[in-house]
A = this chain, B = another copy of it.
Amino acid sequence: MSMKSKTMDRRIIKSKTALKEALLLLMQKKDFNQITITEIVRHADLNRGTFYKHYPFKEELLDEIMDDVIKDLIASYREPYQNVSTFILRDLTASAIKIFHHVEKYANFYVLVVKSNALSGFYKRIGNELKQLALQDLSTYKTEDPDLNRELSASYQSYAILGMIIEWINQGFKYSSTYMAEQLLKIIHLNPVEVKVSHPTDK
């Protein structure tokens, strides 16, 4: 667990770390929803009041764990730029590869969080449904590339749409659905015709 801040009392760091470790431990065994705060502090060997001093509820603790992971994700994404002088426009590929490495590194955590219903499902549900729909399309028509992984492709396509929807929502529906459709077309066309991947120092 990262947890390092100049102005942070060592006692806080210890307490928070203990709480995070306790939660992760418990999440291996049981559902996030079933875990009680009392249980967490029992495992962390801390007073219950200490929990509430730092977090209003369980979800917040999990959020902070995610912070640690996401920090590494950002670092991973940024990594390729350091080593490559020329960057191909619109090409997220080099970064994406690093992101895959990041996920692999934190595999345990990712499995835990994705499987758990801590997310309580909206994105998960929508994403899943869209994926099923895209999948059925992909299986109906055969693509020119036999090595294409249909599952991954379907997931890519459907979450991409979900991404647009979420952006739309967050912008307060200030666009018409027709505009959204137009943008989708633009985005799809935007995709790189020629992609050059940079493989910098694959450590």
Chain A positions within 8 Å of B, measured between CB atoms, are: 33, 56-57, 59, 62-63, 66, 70, 73-74, 77-78, 87, 89-90, 92-93, 95-97, 99-101, 103-104, 107, 110-111, 113-114, 117-127, 129-131, 133-134, 137-138, 140-141, 143, 145, 147-149, 151-173, 175, 177-178, 180-181, 183-192, 195, 197
What B residues does A134 contact at CB under 8 A?
92
A129: nearest chain-B partner, CB-CB: B70
**Can you pick out 7 interface pairs between chain A and chain B where the beta carbons lie within 8 Å of each other?**
A62-B120, A66-B125, A87-B140, A99-B130, A145-B190, A152-B187, A153-B187
Q: How far is the CA of A128 from the CA of B171 in the complex (A)?
A: 13
Compute how far the CA of A72 lies from the CA of B62 in the bound complex, rounded to whole angstroms: 32
In whole angstroms, how far apart are the Cα atoms of A133 and B166 in the complex?
16
For the residues of A in contact with B, the DSSP-based class is helix
How many of these chains are in the complex?
2
Q: Which of A121, A134, A140, A197 has the most CB of B within 10 A?
A: A121
Q: Which residues of B contact A124 (CB under 8 A)?
A: 123
B165→A162 contact, CB < 8 A: no
- Whether the pair B129, A152 counts as a contact (CB closer than 8 A) is no
Q: Once the chains bind, are B120 and A180 in contact (CB under 8 Å)?
A: no
Query: For residue A113, which residues in chain B have a CB less than 8 angstroms away from its CB?
Result: 122
Residue on B nearest A161 in the bound complex, by CB: B96
Residues from chain B with a CB closer than 8 A to the CB of A148 are: 183, 186-187, 190
Contact between chains at A110 and B169 (CB < 8 Å): yes
A39–B70 CA distance with the chains assembled, in angstroms: 35
Inter-chain contacts of A66 with B (CB < 8 A): 121-122, 125
Q: A192–B181 contact, CB under 8 A?
A: no
A77–B133 CB distance below 8 A: yes
Q: Are B192 and A167 in contact (CB under 8 A)?
A: no
Which listed residue, B74, B110, B155, touches A164 by the CB 8 Å rule?
A: B155
Q: A160-B156, A167-B152 are in contact. Are A177 and B89 (CB under 8 A)?
A: no
A195 touches B188 (CB 8 A): yes
